[in-house]
Chains A and B, each alone.
Chain A
């Protein structure tokens, strides 16, 4: 094939000296710098580029920009592949590789095309209707449907590219750099306001990029010259930031706009190496000027989806901007004047225009007159009733419209063509306006939705505001840009108006469904999702009267193009079928993003090690050196267990647990939440926050406290130490430290502002080393010879300050294991040194570091609950069997009243119990459901669940804690845990398995 057979001899904004090779479906083609993939394909005569989503019908390039529903391709390969990329917005670069989607095994021979023959069997709602019964078969259907669905393929490998986020503020954001946007940016920029102007295309100019100047002058200049001078002016304004290749994809509350800048997508991979691929802007603009232009509306007629049928404006773009002929013989089909500009430009480029078919019988605008003068044949008051050709349109059949405009009459005329350029008029691109919840107003005469009252500081200018002519765009842009800058606090005067000469446009005549004489002809409304007029009619007949329901039932407008070409047509067709006015049916909600954005851009730098902050204790490196396995607790890395010499986890944990009971164990407890609470009302404050009483706690003494939400449910627990009359140190569970601090502050600020109390997080200021076991006291005595540590002098739940290993320390005598235990708190920077001292001195005593898993086993042997494990936000202290900690006489506290609610005093609430299995070695699964009566198959009545379950080496058997309905009245009962591998029999016990009397605490 000759290179670029459909490239025109001259014209276009392409660089004919810079040839680029690319591949499409494995075949090599050539284009030029400045091409899009779509224009380069058309230059090579390739229209047929993909298969439709449902019927797998051959589809061609349809548009020339963001509106493209058909020409979606898989771009690139390997880790750098991107699905569903619009060929029309993909810049051509050397070595670009693209493939068709939605076809198998190949574009030209596609098995799924059978769906097209079966289309009569695939009406709207087919899946809902067919796969409902029997429900059990859904699992089978789902696999097949999921395989058949979808467009391109997501990459499997890790994304090798870098993305970043940029936060920015500006006075005026201008979206769109067409004539209106440029005029707005210039007017706003001239006041000195900080302006950002963004446009999705690589070049600023919008529609001017396709205006060749034969019929249009701006201020006496050709459009190109005007464009160059205004761009230069903007460039010279220091406060104006110009962002090409940047799509404003989302317009959110309070003028927050998301922009996606494509930095290297137009470059070959080797040129993009080391660069950021895409940048996501999070922009807050004082004022927003939308100059987003308009999107052309297709005509809905029989056979309108064949490759070669495209939008007239797009056809004109290809001719004027890219120097490409979309066909060798073109039929134009329109209901408005704009398509005549395409006819004229094609004729001037020596492309054969077979005829203009105009649905209007009276045509009197400037452009049709010039077309007539240029000798372009036109049939007015005619419509296309059918098209022919399978992989490319070969011809159209036309008939005269009847007088009522709802049918056809007279003989059929057949015209030969290989391209149909159609125009159903232009829809203002109101997407961003509507996303920000601005209400739309329907203009019945022109058949368009225009922006009504904005909800935010947003203005619309130009075609997106329904002002289609160039003179209106420039005037409105300038006026709006100035107004926005003034509201943002800047001063400026109106510039003298720009004189524009252009053809006068006559209004379009909306024709929502072109009549035909063919029975059963298919007219496509949504090209990407294969929705026809028949589907919409059927939905209405079946009772779907809300456009939101019709949308979901038929899937119209639900593709990756979000119905840019289909929504208004679908809406009008549904309104007609309902016999309702269009505004009464309403519009579906426009949602961000305007065009798809990548997950890479959304994620930005929040990947890998930067996904979430990691918190490490001052002793962390020691655990790493000892080969500890870690577990994540919130953002903390905690040593989980320390396997030695190839031990399994079970072996390591068993060893650690036994050592803590038989000798001395040591635990890095630095992650414990610590809150310094100070002020004259601190004791009263704790009295209200905890369920027990605090005012009489002696200085230097500790107390365990339980914190409830006001609905009576357990929230957190921990030991709090009184350092002075007005000074406490509260500890919280590791994961709840931040939320407890917020909780305390909320009560202080919002409910009890009269209390004089300050709370300060000191979690990271202290390293906490916990030792326990029969040899703990001896070891501590060696390291703290000046302290008095005997049982009589240093009682359980008290604190001493003194020197430990030469470091000033607070030592608490507390225990979470049931053994004699000490918590040594030292300034964080001494944590590692003191730990090392303990390890060295402890060697003679067989000191054993233990991790969080052993800690859990030790506390479970004693039946101590863990907030967030036994309790889950639906558990009261009474449910936990902890009524002893609720002080009813001290007065009100958070959660008190709720403990007497009808629901919380029920006898059949889930209560904390122990479970033991008949087989000593069987360890229940945490989360396993418990039943009283086993049946052969589910459903069975579940009466509770296992919350903690371990093997206890001290008891030589498995143990479990569980929340069981009326558990405390079930002691000794046999219950069951039905598991996939078989049912496990369990016996209900008290939730304490070891040293029930607590004698070891004083051992």
Chain B
């Protein structure tokens, strides 16, 4: 059971949180002009890496704020935490 460091509330058990999946998926603007493949890529296609993963979480049973973490999906180690309006930090790919 993950121990998630909420940037507002501190460390809490994962069952207080909702995982929003991969982060930094830009929603295309002017969507009318983009083709089906590009739109489908936005809607459906996600990375599933073993290792470094930038992801969105929401403290659903706490402050209800969304934020980002960088997690090593192999070890579950949390490598970074940052706010919605912050640029993704440059975290080196962990060696496996």
Interface pair A892/B36, CB less than 8 Å apart: no
Say whether B41 faces chain A, with CB atoms less than 8 Å apart: no
A751 to B2 CA separation, bound complex (whole angstroms): 26
Minimum CB–CB distance for A596 against chain B, Å = 20
Minimum CB–CB distance for A310 against chain B, Å = 38
Residues of A731-748 contacting chain B, CB below 8 A: 742, 745-746
Interface pair B43/A254, CB less than 8 Å apart: no
Minimum CB–CB distance for A604 against chain B, Å = 14
Interface pair A901/B27, CB less than 8 Å apart: no
Say whether A902 faces chain B, with CB atoms less than 8 Å apart: yes
Say whether A896 faces chain B, with CB atoms less than 8 Å apart: yes
One of A253, A750, A897, A900 near B66 (C-beta < 8 A):
A750
A751 to B31 CA separation, bound complex (whole angstroms): 15
Contact A742/B39 with A254-B1, A750-B20, A897-B31 known, Cβ cut-off 8 Å: no
Say whether B64 faces chain A, with CB atoms less than 8 Å apart: yes
One of A456, A892, A898 near B39 (C-beta < 8 A):
A898
Minimum CB–CB distance for B64 against chain A, Å = 6
The bracket for how many chain A residues form the interface is: 20 to 34
Contact A253/B65 with A742-B58, A751-B27, A897-B31 known, Cβ cut-off 8 Å: no
Interface pair A253/B2, CB less than 8 Å apart: yes
Minimum CB–CB distance for B25 against chain A, Å = 10
Minimum CB–CB distance for A8 against chain B, Å = 47
With most chain A CB atoms within 10 A of its CB, the pick from B20, B28, B56, B66 is B66
Contact A749/B3 with A742-B60, A901-B39, A902-B36 known, Cβ cut-off 8 Å: no
Say whether A845 faces chain B, with CB atoms less than 8 Å apart: no
Say whether B90 faces chain A, with CB atoms less than 8 Å apart: no
Residue of A nearest to B75 (CB): A455
Interface pair A746/B43, CB less than 8 Å apart: no
Interface pair B1/A252, CB less than 8 Å apart: yes
Say whether A284 faces chain B, with CB atoms less than 8 Å apart: yes
Residue of B nearest to A749 (CB): B66
Interface pair A711/B43, CB less than 8 Å apart: yes
Contact A256/B31 with A746-B66, A749-B66, A750-B66 known, Cβ cut-off 8 Å: no
One of B18, B31, B60 near A892 (C-beta < 8 A):
B31
A437 to B40 CA separation, bound complex (whole angstroms): 36
How many B residues, CB 8 Å from partner? 28
Residues of A715-760 contacting chain B, CB below 8 A: 742, 745-746, 749-751, 753
Residues of A within 8 A of B80 (CB): none
Interface pair B20/A254, CB less than 8 Å apart: no
Residues of A within 8 A of B93 (CB): none
Interface pair B75/A901, CB less than 8 Å apart: no
Say whether A908 faces chain B, with CB atoms less than 8 Å apart: no
Interface pair A745/B64, CB less than 8 Å apart: yes
Interface pair A253/B1, CB less than 8 Å apart: yes
A437 to B2 CA separation, bound complex (whole angstroms): 14
With most chain A CB atoms within 10 A of its CB, the pick from B34, B58, B65, B85 is B58
A753 to B75 CA separation, bound complex (whole angstroms): 32
Residues of A within 8 A of B39 (CB): 897-898, 901
Residues of B within 8 A of A437 (CB): 75
One of A253, A256, A750 near B56 (C-beta < 8 A):
A750
Say whether A710 faces chain B, with CB atoms less than 8 Å apart: yes
Interface pair A749/B60, CB less than 8 Å apart: no
Residue of B nearest to A750 (CB): B66
Residue of B nearest to A894 (CB): B27
Residues of B within 8 A of A710 (CB): 27, 43
Contact A753/B32 with A455-B75, A898-B39 known, Cβ cut-off 8 Å: no
Interface pair B84/A750, CB less than 8 Å apart: yes
A–B Cβ pairs within 8 angstroms, 24 of them: A252-B1, A253-B2, A254-B2, A254-B3, A254-B76, A256-B3, A282-B1, A284-B3, A284-B13, A455-B76, A455-B77, A710-B43, A742-B18, A745-B66, A746-B20, A750-B20, A750-B56, A753-B84, A892-B31, A897-B39, A898-B39, A898-B43, A900-B32, A901-B39
List A residues at the B interface (Cβ < 8 Å): 252-256, 282, 284, 437, 455-456, 710-711, 742, 745-746, 749-751, 753, 892, 896-898, 900-902
